Amino acid sequence: MDLHYPAGHVFYRNLHRSYPLITHGEGAYLYDSEGKRYLDASGGAAVANIGHGVKEIAVALSAQAEKVGYLNGMQFSHLPVESLAERISRFLPFPKGKVFFLTSGAEAVEASIKLARQYWVEQGKTNKHHVISRKPSYHGSTLASLALAARESYKSIYKPMLRSSHLIPAPYCYRCFCNETYPACGLKCAHALEKKIQELGEENVSAFITEIIGGASSGAAVPPQEYFTVIRKICDDYDVLLIADEIMTGIGRTGKWLACDHFNLKPDVILLGKGLAGGYVPLSALAVRGGIVGAIFDNDRSFLHAQTFAHHPVGCAAGVATLAFIEKKRLLNKCLDMGHLLKESLLPLGSNSHVGDIRGQGLLFGIEFVRDKNSKTPFPREFRYTEKFLGEALKKGLVLWSHVGHADGINGDLVLLAPPFTIASREISAIKAILSDTLGEMKIM
């Protein structure tokens, strides 16, 4: 079936391509209406962390829907939300954590910056409203979350509608925006936070929001081990809340429940999403240090944020079933083991003249493409290297995630791999083989 604009009634995001019609999925594979099989090496958008077609999740969804499908989370509680919050609290790095459930990562981001603002108002620090973020980064496509991101291609036409951005360089060592080399750099990218706070005025800065290990915008860039020690101290010294965007990296993607755990980091707020319910329903979460919620309670106030589908019963039931499945199958250990194997399989691809860097953690890896390896010069955007690479890989039955523009805001090509934790060694071999074949064909394009 050829699904493309202007046929049918679906408003496709990309109006210039045809979409395969997927009929079902199983494990790491998707199957379309023509019988073609696709190896989902990116879990969609790093979402399908437990694989496709898991019966346990379907049963949990159905069982809850039969009891009650929807409740107003501002008026009622229910067993799935209580159970899911308790399960998440077990792996939070702060005591007495509270969890607020939403349906998308962008919603969680917006809720977090509203919470940060309300917290400081409750503390009597009513000038605190600026939020600092990093470049490159991505935190969502709604107007407030988009303003925090550094994706100029997404932001350009909406600039008149966006609040001002306050960005510092991300710890993206392959392309250090401070023009330094680690460790001689002295972590200038981390200390840039202090300079930015001083520039804006300590009394005006509410929060710093950051990915822990980079997502698509920096192709799974892993910061130096001591980076977050510096960041945490700066936030403490200047009364700035530290918001950890773990929407992509949380729920085991890096081999631990949270990427924070790799750095012994204790943020004030943690954002979860994507794999929280394995992609079986849209579900995200705002996990908050108890003292922040307590400040609102002590002033006899409520959290000034509400959404129709907050604490959704069926969504929370899917989340409970997903976490139970991960624990039952010991998938955090599997993620670590398969992550090592994936890394070993990918590294030989670095000998290709157009592969600039391969990086990542657990089952989250990025491959960055360059025109010249010595100078790290990216391909000109008009060449559309990533788009061509994705197209060729898809023809061979391999699904990848991508990003462009990270090198300078316009140019830069990379693909992201985030396969299900249940992936087998033979499937990792298949990923390597298709990537290698695709790279070989790209040389002559």
Is position 224 within any domain?
yes
Task: Name the residue range of residue 339's domain.
Answer: 22-53+330-442
* Total domains present in the chain: 2
Is position 88 within any domain?
yes
Asked if 369 and 411 count as a contact pair (C-beta separation under 8 A), the reply is no
Is position 1 within any domain?
no
**CATH number of the domain encompassing residue 136:** 3.40.640.10
Copy the structure tokens of residue 62.
């159905």
Rounded CA-CA distance 72/313 in Å is: 9
Q: Does residue 258 share a domain with residue 157?
A: yes
Is position 410 within any domain?
yes
pLDDT score for 409: 84
pLDDT score for 2: 65
Q: Does residue 269 share a domain with residue 404?
A: no
pLDDT score for 1: 63
Q: Does residue 421 share a domain with residue 316?
A: no
Rounded CA-CA distance 50/221 in Å is: 23
Q: Does residue 103 share a domain with residue 41?
A: no
Q: Does residue 399 share a domain with residue 270?
A: no
Q: Does residue 137 share a domain with residue 31?
A: no
CA angle in degrees (0–180, nearest 5) for 25-442-387: 55
Q: Does residue 206 share a domain with residue 341?
A: no
Helix (H), strand (E) at residue 441: helix 425-442
Copy the structure tokens of residue 14.
């990309």
Asked if 174 and 221 count as a contact pair (C-beta separation under 8 A), the reply is yes
Q: Does residue 346 share a domain with residue 220?
A: no
Q: What is the mean pLDDT of each run of 10 residues along the chain (445 residues)?
A: 82 91 97 97 97 98 98 97 98 95 98 98 97 95 93 88 94 92 95 98 98 94 97 98 98 98 98 98 98 95 95 98 98 98 98 96 98 95 95 97 90 97 98 97 70
Is position 3 within any domain?
no
Q: Does residue 295 share a domain with residue 350?
A: no
Q: Does residue 286 share a domain with residue 190?
A: yes
Order of strands, sheet of 29-32, starting from the edge strand that comes earlier in the sequence: 22-26, 29-32, 37-40, 398-399
**CATH number of the domain encompassing residue 45:** 3.90.1150.10
Q: Does residue 184 share a domain with residue 98?
A: yes
Is position 178 within any domain?
yes
Residue count of the chain = 445
349 to each of 273, 326, 379, 437, how far by Cα in Å?
Answer: 31, 31, 18, 10
Strands 241-245 and 401-404: unpaired
pLDDT score for 221: 97
Number of Cβ within a 10 Å radius of residue 410: 13
Q: Does residue 114 share a domain with residue 208?
A: yes
pLDDT score for 151: 83
| Dihedral sign (CA 302, 274, 45, 212) | positive
Nearest to 189 by CA among 206, 204, 208: 208
